[in-house]
Amino acid sequence: MVLNQLEELASKASEELGKVSDSKELEAWRVRFLGRKSNLTQILRSLASLPLEERRAVGARANEIKLTLETSLEEKKRELEEGSVVSLGMVSLDVTLPGKPFNLGRLHLTTQVLEEVCGILGGMGFQVAEGPDVEWDYYNFEALNMPADHPARDMFATLWIDYEKESGIRPMLLRTHTSPVQIRVMEKSRPPIRIIAPGRVYRYEATDATHEWMFHQVEGLAVDKNITMADLKGTLFEFARCLFGKDRKCRFRCDYFPFVEPGVEVAIDCFECGGTGCRLCGNSGWIEILGAGMVHPDVLRRVNIDPDVYSGFAFGIGVERIPLLRYGIDDIRLFYANDLRFLSQF
């Protein structure tokens, strides 16, 4: 009875293998006749239930059929592969036709500017330092002279990360600036310190032509003995001229930042109108490019650096602002819309 089933199975398998015309059909044939749920496999698994004499005969014939089918499978596979090679060889090719062009990848505009800024400041002796995007409240605010009740926190629209007050876990957030990197470096290093901190920062605000919820900053820090405002001005004068042209003029005006004292706003003369006034500079003749100042003594004390011995300056610039000004781009959202028509221009 079982031997008859095996013969029928072998005959049917051989007949259907002859009808197979591609690799997909061949795989379906293999699963049907040699797979784990195939009739042949089920017969081999049920040998133990047969009488001894019948078991020997059925087992021998089943293994013989299995070997035959496996051999036929390999032969059919080679036949199909050779057939596909032959068919490809029959296609006429015109070798004089030009090849299809491949679009070359390139660095994103923001990355290009980020590397340019880091290259300029690296040439002045600043080293790149990095920190986490998800930051503790202490490093993002408190260590930068902004305790929990400080009104300056309202300057930053913060993306907070949930935490359990009952468990005493410290609140975390997506960093609003890269200044926390400066605190982490000063905690672990002793002056002289000269670093820049490039990276992504996050703000909880609606996006429009001039605002994004995620953008990039590069912040700089220098701490040593006898550092003065003159060192800050000399560094930023040179930086602005390297970035926007050697003929640029710079203007420093008083501004407020809680982690520096005094704080300044740095502007360059408008390269569109030459300082006479236009739409780009709001008819003022000047374009603000960054904020800076002398490191607040309280910030130095928090990282165990004596402000009576050491002083320092810090500055920060928004990376996306540079190409906005340089190329006259009127919508910051274009940077992250993934539109190749825009990105391929740079």
Beta strands in 47-144 (DSSP E): 127-128, 134-136
92, pLDDT greater than 70: no
Q: Report the C-alpha gap between 341 and 345 in whole angstroms.
A: 7
Q: Report the C-alpha gap between 285 and 279 in whole angstroms.
A: 10
pLDDT for the residue 202: 93
pLDDT for the residue 169: 63
Q: For strand 127-128 and strand 193-202, is the pairing parallel, antiparallel, or unpaired?
A: parallel
Q: What is the DSSP letter of 208?
A: B
pLDDT for the residue 28: 83
Q: Report the C-alpha gap between 124 and 155 in whole angstroms.
A: 31
The average pLDDT across 197-206 equals 90
Cβ atoms of 118 and 198 closer than 8 Å:
yes
Backbone angles phi, psi at 51, to 5 degrees: -60, 155
The average pLDDT across 261-280 equals 81
Sign (positive or negative) of CA dihedral 206, 266, 217, 302: negative
Backbone angles phi, psi at 213, to 5 degrees: -75, -20
pLDDT for the residue 321: 87
More confident residue, 79 or 133: 133
Q: In the CATH hierarchy, which top-level class contains the domain 109-343? A: alpha beta
Cβ atoms of 291 and 267 closer than 8 Å:
no
Give the pLDDT band (50/70/90) at residue 148. confident
Element (H, E) at 260: strand 260-269
Residue of 179, 200, 235, 224 whose CA lies nearest to 336: 200
Q: Nearest-5° angle of CA 121, CA 233, CA 273?
A: 90
**Structure-block tokens of residue 81:** 């592969």
pLDDT for the residue 287: 83
pLDDT for the residue 197: 95
Beta strands in the chain (DSSP E): 127-128, 134-136, 159-161, 172-174, 193-202, 214-224, 250-255, 260-269, 286-295, 311-318
Lowest mean pLDDT among 196-200, 233-237, 320-324: 320-324
State the CB neighbour count (10 A cutoff) for residue 27. Answer: 14
Question: What percentage of the chain has pLDDT greater than the value 70?
Answer: 93
Q: Report the C-alpha gap between 103 and 26 in whole angstroms.
A: 38
Whether the upstream peptide bond of residue 192 has omega within 30° of 0, thus cis, is yes
Sign (positive or negative) of CA dihedral 17, 22, 27, 31: negative
pLDDT for the residue 71: 85
Whether the upstream peptide bond of residue 262 has omega within 30° of 0, thus cis, is yes
Rounded mean pLDDT of the chain? 84
Q: What is the DSSP letter of 98?
A: P
Lowest mean pLDDT among 120-124, 189-193, 331-335: 331-335
Question: Rounded to an integer, what is the distance from CA 91 to the centroid of its chain?
Answer: 43
Q: Is 298 strand, coil or helix?
A: helix
**Structure-block tokens of residue 54:** 């019948």
**Structure-block tokens of residue 182:** 């400066």
The domain limits of the chain are 2-89, 109-343
- 99-118 tens-digit pLDDT: 888 877 888 899 999 999 99
**Structure-block tokens of residue 185:** 């470096």
Give the pLDDT band (50/70/90) at residue 285. confident
Question: Rounded to an integer, what is the distance from CA 96 to the centroid of its chain?
Answer: 41
Give the pLDDT band (50/70/90) at residue 91. low
